[in-house]
Every structure is written in C-alpha cells, then in structure tokens.
Amino acid sequence: MLLTLTTTHRPATDLGYLLFKHPDRVQAFQQSFGTATVLYPEATDERCTVAVLLEIDPVRLARSAGRSTPDFSLAQYVNDRSYAASSLLGVAVADVFSTARSGRADSRQALADSRIPLEITIPVLPCRGGPPIARRVFEPLGWHVDASPIALDDRFPDWGASRYVRLTLTGELRLADALNQLHVLLPVLDEAKHYWQSDDEVDKLLRSGAGWLATHPDRELVTRRYLGRRSSLTRVALARLAELDDVTDELEPTEAEEPPARRRPLNAQRHEAVLGALRELEARSVIDLGCGPGAFLHVLVREPSLTRVAGADVSTRSLQVAARRLHLDDLSERQSERISLFQAALTYEDARFAGFDAAVLMEVVEHVDPSRLPALERVVFGAARPRAVLVTTPNREYNVRYEGLTGMRHPDHRFEWSRAELQDWAGRVATAHGYTVELRGIGDVDPDLGAPTHLAVFRRD
Amino acid sequence: MTEQVEATREIGVPDRGLVLLVGVSGSGKSTFAATHFAPSQVISSDFCRALVSDDENDQSATTDAFDVLHYIVGTRLRRGLLTVVDATNVQSAARASLVRVAKDHDVLVDAIVLDVPESVAVRRNENRPGRDFGPRVVARQHKDLKRSLRSLRKEGFRRVHVLPGDEPGDVRIVPQKPWNDRTDLHGPFDVVGDVHGCATELRTLLETLGWVLQRDDDGRAVGAHHPAGRTAVFVGDLVDRGPDTPGVLRLVMGMVAAGTALCVSGNHEAKLVRALKGADVQVRHGLAESLAQLEAAGEPFRSDALAFMDRLISHYVLDDGRLVVAHAGLKESYHGRSSARVRSFALYGDTTGETDEYGLPVRHPWAREYRGQATVVYGHTPVVEPEWVNNTICLDTGVVFGGRLTALRYPERELVHVPALQQYYEPARPLGRPAADREPTALTIDDVTGTRWLQTEHAGKVKIPEENAAAALEVMSRFAVDPRWLVYLPPTMAPAPTSSRDGYLEHPEEAFAEYAAAGVRHVVCEEKHMGSRAVAVLARDEATAARRFGIADGSTGVVHTRTGRAFFPDGGELVERLRVAVAPLFDELETDWLALDCELLPWSAKALGLIKDQYASVGAAAHTALPAATDVLTAAAARGLDVTALADRVAARTVNAEAYRDAYAAYVRPTDGLDGVTLAPFQLLASEGRTLALTESHRWHLERIGSLTDPLITHTRHRYVDLTDDDQRADAVRWWLELTAAGGEGMVVKPVEPVVSAKRVQPGLKVRGREYLRIIYGPDYTDSLDVLRRRSLGRKKNLALREHGLGLDALARFVEGRPLWSVHQMVFAVLALESEPVDPRL
C-alpha cells in the first residue's frame, strides 16, 4: 500500500519537477481498484521524499467486480492487497508518474537524463523467494539492496518469517529507469497473484523494460515471473488441496545433482524402457492410465505400430494440458480416431479401460493410498484385463543416492516400495488375476540398491 | 339361423411391445392407427421420410427414413413403451428388420394385417393427393401381401391378427401384460431357494416359516397355506439330485394351483421337461434320480408334473416392480421382458461360454454391476452364506449337498434356514463364494460422473452437474478415505438472515425470527466451536468393520474431514481414543458401530497451514504497513499538509487490523500430534438399524453426548429457547454476545425436533460473532456492512437444504444395508455440490 522515494540531490525539491507533482500538495488519483494518494512527508533542499499511498477496499471490490478485477486475489475478502506493495501498487506508480516514467521533464530535462541519488523504501513487499530474490533482481540494476524479512506473527515466533520483506533500495539511477523498474519488478516479486493479463502485456513489459531488461542477467526469470501463468480461479476445489497441488513436478534431482554416470534424465529413460517393453509385447493399442499432462502419450502417438492410444487421468487440468500438447483440436479425422483422452479414476471400474493390448501405469500406483490399491487392482487387472500391464514406481532403496532427499521423492507419494515390497505386491496381484509378472529396473543399476525405478511387466495368456 | 350381430373384436397386443401394421398403400393403416392408438405411439414411414427429406413421398429418402424409424422404435422399446409401426410392411425383409429391433430389446411383437381388397385400396389412393403412383404399385404390394400371409406366422410374431374386408370393423385394442408381470402382487413373500428334491427339508422350512401343510389321504403334503396370507415364491430347481423330487413337486404344484405360491423354472426343470418329452439329453447332474423317482410315482402324476414344469415361466416381476425372482438372477434391462435370451439368462445366468476347472460354466458377475432399484432374488449357484450384492441375493445354500435350505422373508429381508438332514449328492466343486461374484465394493465410473438427477428421500430430486462431478471425482479418488467408510459428508450451513442492526451482519434475533416464521417454537442454540468439521465412523472391532463395512484391512474406523480426507496420516490412534471415549454410547444404543458429527479442536491442529498462509500473512502485512503509513502521514501533517481524513482512515484500519489478528489467534493452540487435540461431537449420525440424525431430537443427541466424560471430548455449551418467550430470546442473545466477546466463533441455532415434513426449513442457521467475521470478510468489513448486507443467501440456503437431504439419504441407505454404490452416490453428490465446477470437456 505504501512506497516512498527519496532523493538527496540538491536542490532535492526538484523531485517535484521531475515527477510533475508539487511537494506542497496532497493529490489523490482514482484507480480502478482504489485510490492512490501522492504526498511529500519531507521536502527540503537536502532531502525530499515522495510517498504513494494506495487505499483498496477489498469488500467493495470483491462484491462488485468479482472475477473481472485486475487481480485474482481481489475476489477474496481476506487479502493482503490493502497492505502490501503488490502489483497493484506497481500499476498505480506507473500511472501517477507516467510522464516521469517516459523520461520527459520539460524544465529539468538535464536532471531527468542524469543519474541522481535515490532511496526507495517499500515497508511491506510480497516477495516470493524472500530477500535473495529481491537482491538477485535489483542488484544487477545498480541498486544497493537492503531486504529484511517480516515475521509472520510475533506472538507465534516459531512460525518464522512471512512472505513479505521490508525493502530499501539505494543507488544512483535515472529516475525514469527507477520508476519503470518498479513497474515491472513489483509484479515480478509478487508473482503468485499477478494482475490480469491483456494481450498487449508483452508490449508493456518491453516498453517498461527498455534500456535495462535486455541486459539483466536474470531477464528470463523476470520475464517468466512477470507474465506468469494464466491460471484459472475455477480451481477452488483444488485450492483446498493447495499444499499438495503447488508441487506438481517430481522431486527427481536435476541433471546437475544426478550421479555422474547418468547421462539421460530418468523421465526419458522411463519412457524409453516402457516403450521398449510395449514393442516387445507387440502391443497395437495402449492406454496410459494416469497419463497426467501427457508426456508419455506424446511419445506413444509417435509410435507408428500403435493403432490406438488412449490417456486417462483424474485431473481435468492435466488432461487439458495433454490435449494441447497432442494438438487434439486440429488433428485429421484419421489421427483423432487413433487418440482418445478422458477423465477417469483408477478406483472406479470403467468400461473405457477395456479392449487395449496394454495398459501403462507410469509412476501412478504410489499416488494411491495403500488401502485403495485393491480397488485399483480390481479395476485394472480384474475388470479392464488388458493382455499386458506395465507398472513403473520408484525404488525406495535407491533414495539414499539422492543427495538431500529426506522422505519420499514427491510429497504426494503415499508409499515407495523396495524391490522386495514390489515383488510381494506384483506376485500377489499376478496370481489373483491370472497374470505372470517379470520385474525389471529402469535407470542405472546400483549393485546393492537396484535401479532408481521399478518396472513390473504383467502378461496374461 | 346365422348370428347377424357383429361382436366387437378384441385384439390383444403386448403392452410394452411392438405392433406392426401390415397392408398395402391405401389399406387404411394410418386411419386405423389414429383410431386405436395415441399419436405418440405410432411411428409412420411417411412421417420419417418427411423428417429426412421434407417430402413424405420421396422414395429416394426411404433408406434414411427407415434408419430414423428404427432408431425411434428402438428407443421407445428400450424405455418400455408400446410402439406401432405404420408402414406397408408387405415385404418379409422389411418386417424382419423390425422384428429384429423388438428382439434386440427383448419385447414381443404382433402384426395386425389390414387385408383390404385391392380395388378398395386403389380407389382410396386415387382420392388422395400425392398418391399418384397408379394401380400397378398397389397390385405389386397386394401380391407381396398375399405371399406374406402364408409365412407371416413363422416370422417371429407373438400373434398375427388379420382383419379382412373393406373396413377393419368393430375392433378394440387390448394391451396385454406379459406373463411375468405380477406387479399386482404385494406379498408378503417367502422366497425359497433351490430345493433339489429335498422334500423333508422343504416341509420343515415351510413349517418354520409358519406355513400350514395340507396332506392327502396318504399323508403326503399336497399343499400349504400361511395364516398371515403370505405367498411362497420358489426360485426353481425343485428337482434332481435329491431323494424325493416327486414329493417336492407334489407340494409345490398344490401350492401354485391353490394360488399360495409362484414358481419360476430352473435349468433343472427345463432339462427334465426335455427328458420327459423324450429328447436326447445327457443324463447328468442328478437327472437320473428324478427320472427314476417320477417313473416310480407313476401316472397321472408324471404327466401332471411334466405339464406343470413345462408351463413354468422364467421370471416374475412382483410388488410394483420392487421384487424380481429368477432362477439364476436377471439384469435390470431384462426385467419384465420376454425373449429367448431373457429366458436363457434367467435359467442359466450370464454365461460366457467358457467352463472352469470343474467343467462348470463360467458366469459373468452380473450382480456386481447391478444398479437396479428392484431387489433380485435367485438361486442356481450354491453358496455357503447368502449375501447381499447390490440389492440382489442368491438363496441356493446347497441343501442337497448337505448345506441348508434357505428362504428370504420379503419385505422383512430376513433369512430363515433349515439344515440338510444329510448330504444327498456330491458337489462338482466345493461350495464356496465365487470371488468374482461376491465382490460387493466395486464402484463404477458411471455411478458418479456425468450430469445426473438423483432421486432422494430427503431432498427431492437433486441435480448434480457434470462439471461439479468432475471436480469431485478428483478429490474423492485422490484424497478421500475408502468409500466403504464414507457413509456421510456434512452439508454446508446457511448463516442467519442478514441483520440490519448497527455494526452487525449476523445476529441471533434474525435466526429466531426465521424459525418463528416457519412455525418452529423450540430451538437449541449450540456454541459453534472454531475447529475443523470432522465425521467419525467407528466400528466396535475388526470383525464389525469387516461384516458391516466390508473393510478387512484391520482398520476399525475413520475420522475424516468435510471433504472425506483422513485427519491424520495414521488415523488409527485417534480412532482408538475416540472409541474408548464414546464406549458408553455403544452399549446404550446396543450397536457395534457408530457415526458421529463433530468439530475437531483446535482449528490450528489441522488448519495451521491455512492460518499461516492466509490469515497470519495478511495480519503481518497489515501490522507492518499501517504503522509505516502512519509515520508518513504524521511527517506530512508536521509539514502542514492536510492529511487529516486519510490519517483517520489509516488509524481506523489499524484498530481493525489488530482486532483481526486477535480473532485468528484465538483459535490457535499448540498441539503436538494428537496431544492437545479434542473432539466436540454435537450429533450422533447413525448406529446399527437407526438413522439417528433423522429420528432423534437435538435434546436427545446433546444428552447422550453430554454423558461422556473422557477428556478427549469437548462439550458443546448450549441452551434451549422457546421462541414465544421474549425473555428467553433476550437471554440467548446476551449469551451469544458473551460467547463472541470471549473470542467464540458464535452459535448455531437449530430446531430442537427433527424437521421432517416442512422441507424448506433450514436444519440449522449459523450466527457468527462480530469479531470472528473479520477473518471471513476481512479486517475492515465493519466499514462495508452496507455492501455486505446485500449478500444473497438464497443460493447458500438452497445448497444447505439439498446437501443436508443428500447426507440423510446416505446415512439412511447405509443403515438399511443398501449397496455401496447407492450410498456412495449420495456422499459423492454432497462433495460435488461443494466443489467448484471444472470444465470436463477437452
């Protein structure tokens, strides 16, 4: 809600000319989301400070504007927009100082074109990633950064720091550059709740970033975080599950952290191994059960020997990503007959699962509670009964090879099996449903620990 | 003298079947159809031709027109509607395809032939516009018809009615119910399993059930009646293998003849009939015994028995469609239908053509997929213990193999057994529970997804949009506990009507006024605990969990959230401790399982993540930003700038923000695992045989819960208010003010007695405290009351009523022992209504 900008350039009150705002006036500017007030708490020759104070009434906004508000979080009654220097403050600063931002200063043009000593203070800045990110973003631009974390609640000290920092930037910069940087970087740091993007957003970014963004060492991070993801508010059902859903990527180590012998990411090796097994089985039709956003489907559709490929997942969001990845909307009639994608859950019997040569459950079973596994077994092995079932799942024994990994490889894993545990399960399932099973490993084999990923190949004759 | 008075001719047609009108163009089919059938029952080829070509005489559209006609006819037949096809149907190929449609839907088909003289038809066509195809066409059709009349009866029609002459004459159409339709009989019934010649055991069973046997002069049982007017229904397989097939037949034939029993055919009767008629059948599976015994019984009994068995039909639909009896069971789409494959299913089951390792036919587990409303009772496959599978039950308990003879009392749903006196026959495979047939927990995707209208007892018809179901599927399958434990999900609750009192959005008086207006006199005000809603389902022990819930993994209960998630990663300890805490209730209610609606305290035990991310974060921002803003404004004021109004606003918001921080902090208490966690039960939902949430008053619930003394239990403070007494109302308001001033969330006002009849009365209204609402509507909501008062509660109230009803239906269904899918459908619906819709389309 608050930002102050101070200069010690003499006469400091020239700041009023640069900003086109008289130091002795209190001016209010209406924004679509509230009121921005510009005032000068100090204005002497030695030191002049301008403050922008943004007032937002969240109740009124939540009730009147609903989902068309410029910021998703405004649809909630309880939100930090009235207090924190969010992207909305970035918008307000850009608006009330639009002339200064363009670098035009009429009577003080020389001053506007030169670097002057500046100090910017933002008492509450939402900063995803904490002080390090703030330093990473501002320091390359010539700022000295003082970012100190704000406690979540001093009455509960063990709760630690909040996602806010108190930020002070000091340095000698052109005022216009400083304002443009704030315009871009406040939303970047606020990332999580970026305001609504219109189609000219990229243009806006490039305009405000002129002269500094292209050379910024972290321009990629800045750009990605500024443009954000077009998420959808309709996912409140999953918002209840937020802790889990925030993390959708597997906690597999990145290549740099991998054991040195390993050349290819485990993910790719899994795809390769399962595709190899499907070729061995001479499967002509395959269903990927728990296909997620369709990474393996993408591999399957390029396999010419497959006449039919299906993907099923319980997450409609994942399926939409998969549909985009497979270009489901603009396939030829013949191609689209070959591919199908649908929402399903592996604990509910489903006629659509039947009639395939092979079913693949790649990194799926470990996301099912052990008490619900019998239902999955019945649905896949009992009811759908494909000729072959390929199951991959992490090898728990191998986890010690991942540095820094405590617990399981993914927060949503309900279990991870050792080789013996997999053998128990696979053997029991095979016997109960008339399959034979062969166990293999995927990835580099450790003589004591086995491979990082199990592969169980079930066959029914 | 010949009879001159022409009697009305009655034409019986199958009432849910197909009728083909047959006649040349101009024979008067359309007039006949319009006279004798409702317009919607008649599908004419001309009409369909017009549908697909805008010209009912466009012969080039005939193929497409008949595609449409077949589709409409098929759809009507599937839905059980009498359907009449108005087309010439003079060619056998045209008739054959329609007969095929009827067979595909397992209904009977009749033909009504309008056999008018050719000259009459030609004349009529000449007088009608658009029929200028000349006499040659009619002549050809007439020739086809004449040829057809010779073979028509062999084309698969149940009956062919020929109406000769210029005019059809005085005709009355009489729809005839199929033989299997005995929906007019309402029992009560005693359904008896496979007897297989065990006459002694049958007599004992009937007497155990209270039947009085009638004996002939030789002392043989030849009939029976029940003093309470019950009707026996035999599921077939009276004969073969056992010691006295004639004795069984004699008794059952007498009962059927006297109208005290019904009997469907078993596969053994069908084969015995063929053998007795001299067909070449393999004499196996105990047929030899029957043949020898019947031979010994002599004539005329042998012939009577043959006639009796030959007339047995394969299934009955009884009691307004609520009960179906067939020897090997019957899937829903075959109920009340008639065809060779329906009979085959009823006699032999859904055979796959394969045989198992004992050489016996492998059967598809139809019961596992059964989703019908009708109870299906059958025999055929011997089991050790009859078990309900999706509202179906097999009563063959292998008496002839030394097991038991079983009867089901309907509608009481009680099983009565008598033991076999001995093993009369060696079973081909050991008696057991064929696992595939007996898996009661299979839920199918079709039980829950897609847009559906649920017929409920307590919320009427409830629509579940597919977008909501899609969202719920994800939550249910990824995070919820085993659906067998999930017998209830709590509904949302509406707040009291918005108050216009200064400074208040919600106030008890508004809740009192709403109930008073709805005719409720006595309400209870219950302290609203600020915690997490919890539903506890507890079995007394593992055996109960296995028997009543079908859970055999050793767990004995769950405590789950309002979305069906387990509260703690390993919920076992909480279940253990709660079971101990509520043990007295198990005894008092004489139950071995119990479901309770509770609040789990403190809020921070489960919601700490939410408190930190959402509430404390906003608090931290406010707590830091507002003083900084105050400093800036103080400095500006010192310079002489006029910032008074702004400074006042910031000051007010500082006060609000601190009140907000205090509000959430009040619900934070340190916990470590289960240490510090308590449960506040406020309603007992259900126990064995009792849907307590439906039948008992809140006074009853609170008294039962009030008697618990375990420290795990937090009690719910409450008071009763007679709404006609102003003092009591004022006292309750004071109580609420005290509660909320001390940091309490508020209270819930409920009618003391269960609201049954008046369906629009809310089951409860929450009245939340002024400070608590800051964490709902934001720290400064008190400055925006004018806006918030415009909140519309209609949708919320509607939702609360529907979800409440769905929850009660789920509980009642579970208590009644209804199939898992039918309980799950209700629970899933609550979750779906509580879920934000997602777009399931790709």
Contact call for A343 and B473, based on CB within 8 A: yes
A-chain residues near B447 (CB < 8 A)? 348
Q: Are residues A289 and A393 in the same domain?
A: yes
CB contact at 8 A, B49 and B56: yes
- Kindly state whether residue A123 falls inside one of the protein's structural domains: yes
Q: Are residues A353 and A272 in the same domain?
A: yes
Chain B CA closest to residue A37:
B646
Contact call for A39 and B616, based on CB within 8 A: no
Provide the residue range defining the domain that includes A71: 2-196
Buried b (16+ CB within 10 A) or exposed e, B572-582: eebbebbbebb
Domain count of the fold of chain A? 2
Pairing of strands B494-495, B765-768: parallel
- Kindly state whether residue A238 falls inside one of the protein's structural domains: no
pLDDT in tens, A343-374: 999 999 999 999 999 999 999 999 998 888 99
Please report the pLDDT score of residue A90 as a whole number.
85
The pLDDT of residue A85 is above 60: yes
The pLDDT of residue A247 is above 50: no
- Kindly state whether residue A210 falls inside one of the protein's structural domains: no
Q: Are residues A169 and A273 in the same domain?
A: no
Please report the pLDDT score of residue A31 as a whole number.
85
Please report the pLDDT score of residue B320 as a whole number.
95
Chain B CA closest to residue A164:
B621
Cα A214 to Cα A221: distance, rounded to the nearest angstrom: 12
Contact call for B621 and A124, based on CB within 8 A: yes
Final residue in a domain of this structure, among A168, A196, A224: A196
Q: Which of A83, A14, A91, A26 is nearest to A55 (CA)?
A: A83
The answer to whether B20 faces chain A, any CB pair under 8 Å, is no
Q: Are residues A192 and A283 in the same domain?
A: no
pLDDT band at A256 (very low <50, low <70, confident <90, very high): very low
Residue A158, class by beta-carbon neighbours within 10 Å (0-12 exposed, 13-18 middle, 19+ buried)?
A: exposed
The pLDDT of residue B437 is above 70: no
Beta-bridged to residue B603, according to DSSP, are none
Cα A340 to Cα A331: distance, rounded to the nearest angstrom: 12
Task: Tell me the CATH number at A50.
Answer: 3.30.1610.20
pLDDT band at A64 (very low <50, low <70, confident <90, very high): low
Buried b (16+ CB within 10 A) or exposed e, B740-773: beeebbbbbbbbbbbbeeeeebbbbbbbbbbbbb
Measured over the CA atoms of residue B650, residue B654, residue B655 and residue B657, the dihedral's sign is positive
Cα A2 to Cα A125: distance, rounded to the nearest angstrom: 9
Q: Which of B299, B247, B242, B309 is nearest to B274 (CA)?
A: B309
Lowest-pLDDT choice from A113-122, A403-412, B84-93, B505-514: A403-412
The answer to whether A343 faces chain B, any CB pair under 8 Å, is yes
pLDDT band at A73 (very low <50, low <70, confident <90, very high): low
What percent of chain B has a predicted confidence (pLDDT) above 90?
72
Please report the pLDDT score of residue B233 as a whole number.
98
Q: Which of B622, B780, B842 has the CB atom closest to A319's CB atom?
A: B842
Instruction: Tell me the mean pLDDT in the region B146-168.
Output: 89
Task: At A45, list the tokens.
Answer: 């020759």
The pLDDT of residue B34 is above 60: yes
More confident residue, A216 or B174: B174
DSSP-derived letter for residue B611 is I
Instruction: Tell me the mean pLDDT in the region B592-609.
Output: 92
What percent of chain B has a predicted confidence (pLDDT) above 70?
96
Contact call for B618 and A79, based on CB within 8 A: yes
CB pairs < 8 Å spanning A and B: 216
Chain B CA closest to residue A60:
B787
pLDDT band at A230 (very low <50, low <70, confident <90, very high): very low
Q: Give residue for tokens 């504007």.
A: A65
pLDDT band at B742 (very low <50, low <70, confident <90, very high): confident
What percent of chain A has a predicted confidence (pLDDT) above 70?
86
Cα A281 to Cα A386: distance, rounded to the nearest angstrom: 12
pLDDT in tens, B533-578: 999 999 999 999 988 998 888 889 999 999 999 988 777 889 999 9
Whole-number average pLDDT of chain B: 91
Contact call for A348 and B444, based on CB within 8 A: yes
pLDDT band at A236 (very low <50, low <70, confident <90, very high): very low
Contact call for A58 and B780, based on CB within 8 A: yes
pLDDT band at A403 (very low <50, low <70, confident <90, very high): confident
Lowest-pLDDT choice from A72-76, A78-82, A405-409, B747-751: A72-76
Q: Are residues A303 and A436 in the same domain?
A: yes
Final residue in a domain of this structure, among A166, A196, A226: A196
Q: Which of B437, B393, B442 is nearest to B415 (CA)?
A: B393
Cα B47 to Cα B66: distance, rounded to the nearest angstrom: 10
The pLDDT of residue B195 is above 60: yes
pLDDT in tens, B328-339: 999 999 999 998
- The torsion angle over the Cα atoms of residues B308, B311, B316 and B320, rounded to 10 degrees, is -100
Contact call for A241 and B479, based on CB within 8 A: yes
The pLDDT of residue A68 is above 60: no
Q: Which of B799, B788, B529 is nearest to B679 (CA)?
A: B529
- Kindly state whether residue A203 falls inside one of the protein's structural domains: no
Chain B CA closest to residue A122:
B625
Q: Under DSSP, is residue A7 helix (H, G, I), strand (E, B) or coil?
A: strand
Q: Are residues A179 and A273 in the same domain?
A: no
For residue B167, give every residue at least 6 positions away whose Cβ sits within 8 Å of its Cβ, in sequence order, or none: B28, B116
Enumerate residues 106 to 135 of chain A having a beta carbon within 8 A of any beta carbon in chain B.
123-124, 126
Task: Tell me the CATH number at A300.
Answer: 3.40.50.150
CB contact at 8 A, A435 and A413: no
**What DSSP assignment string belongs to B336-381?**
T--SHHHHHHHHH-SEEEEE-TTSPEEE--HHHH---SSEEEE-SS
Q: Are residues A35 and A169 in the same domain?
A: yes
Q: Give residue for tokens 């979800």.
A: B803
- Kindly state whether residue A236 falls inside one of the protein's structural domains: no
CB contact at 8 A, B794 and B803: no
Strand-by-strand arrangement of the B522-528 sheet: B494-495, B765-768, B746-751, B522-528, B718-722
B-chain residues near A155 (CB < 8 A)? 665
The answer to whether B671 faces chain A, any CB pair under 8 Å, is no
pLDDT in tens, B637-673: 999 999 999 999 999 999 999 999 999 998 898 888 8
The pLDDT of residue B343 is above 50: yes
Residues composing chain B: 842
DSSP-derived letter for residue A182 is H
Measured over the CA atoms of residue A186, residue A192, residue A198 and residue A202, the dihedral's sign is positive
Q: Are residues A132 and A29 in the same domain?
A: yes
Q: Are residues A23 and A157 in the same domain?
A: yes
- Kindly state whether residue A242 falls inside one of the protein's structural domains: no
More confident residue, B700 or A34: B700
Summarize chain B as % helix, strand, coil (round to 5). 40, 20, 40
**H or E element that contains B602:** none
Mutate which of A13, A343, A369, A414 to test chain B, going by most B C-beta atoms within 10 A?
Answer: A343
- Kindly state whether residue A253 falls inside one of the protein's structural domains: no
The pLDDT of residue B83 is above 60: yes
CB contact at 8 A, B740 and B746: yes
pLDDT band at B312 (very low <50, low <70, confident <90, very high): very high
Measured over the CA atoms of residue B432, residue B435, residue B438 and residue B440, the dihedral's sign is positive
pLDDT in tens, A374-397: 999 999 999 999 999 999 999 999
Instruction: Tell me the mean pLDDT in the region A227-255.
Output: 34
Q: ∠A378-B335-B95 over CA atoms, to 5°?
A: 110
pLDDT band at A228 (very low <50, low <70, confident <90, very high): low
Cα A291 to Cα B307: distance, rounded to the nearest angstrom: 61
Please report the pLDDT score of residue B85 as a whole number.
97
Largest CA distance in chain B: 131
Q: Where do the DSSP E strands lie in B483-566?
A: 494-495, 522-528, 532-539, 557-560
Query: How far is B652 from chain A, CA to nearest CA, in Å?
Result: 13
Q: Are residues A184 and A306 in the same domain?
A: no
Final residue in a domain of this structure, among A196, A221, A246: A196
The pLDDT of residue A242 is above 90: no
Query: How far is A267 from chain B, CA to nearest CA, in Å?
Result: 23
Cα B683 to the center of its chain, rounded Å:
26
Q: What is the identity of the amino acid at B649? A: R
Q: Are residues A31 and A172 in the same domain?
A: yes
Pairing of strands A388-394, A453-459: antiparallel
CB contact at 8 A, B304 and B246: no
What are the start-end ranges of the H helices in A163-286?
Answer: 175-190, 201-208, 219-227, 236-239, 242-245, 266-280
Beta-bridged to residue A168, according to DSSP, are A121, A146
Instruction: Tell me the mean pLDDT in the region B830-840.
Output: 90
Q: Where do the DSSP E strands lie in B610-729?
A: 678-687, 718-722
User: What are the backbone dihedrals phi and psi of residue A150, each rounded to the nearest 5 degrees, phi first?
Assistant: -110, 135
Instruction: Tell me the mean pLDDT in the region B579-586.
Output: 95
Model ipTM value: 0.81
Contact call for B616 and A236, based on CB within 8 A: no
- Kindly state whether residue A240 falls inside one of the protein's structural domains: no
- Count of helices and strands (H, E) across chain A: 17, 14
SS3 of B81-98: the string is CCEEEECCCCCHHHHHHH
Q: Are residues A189 and A270 in the same domain?
A: no
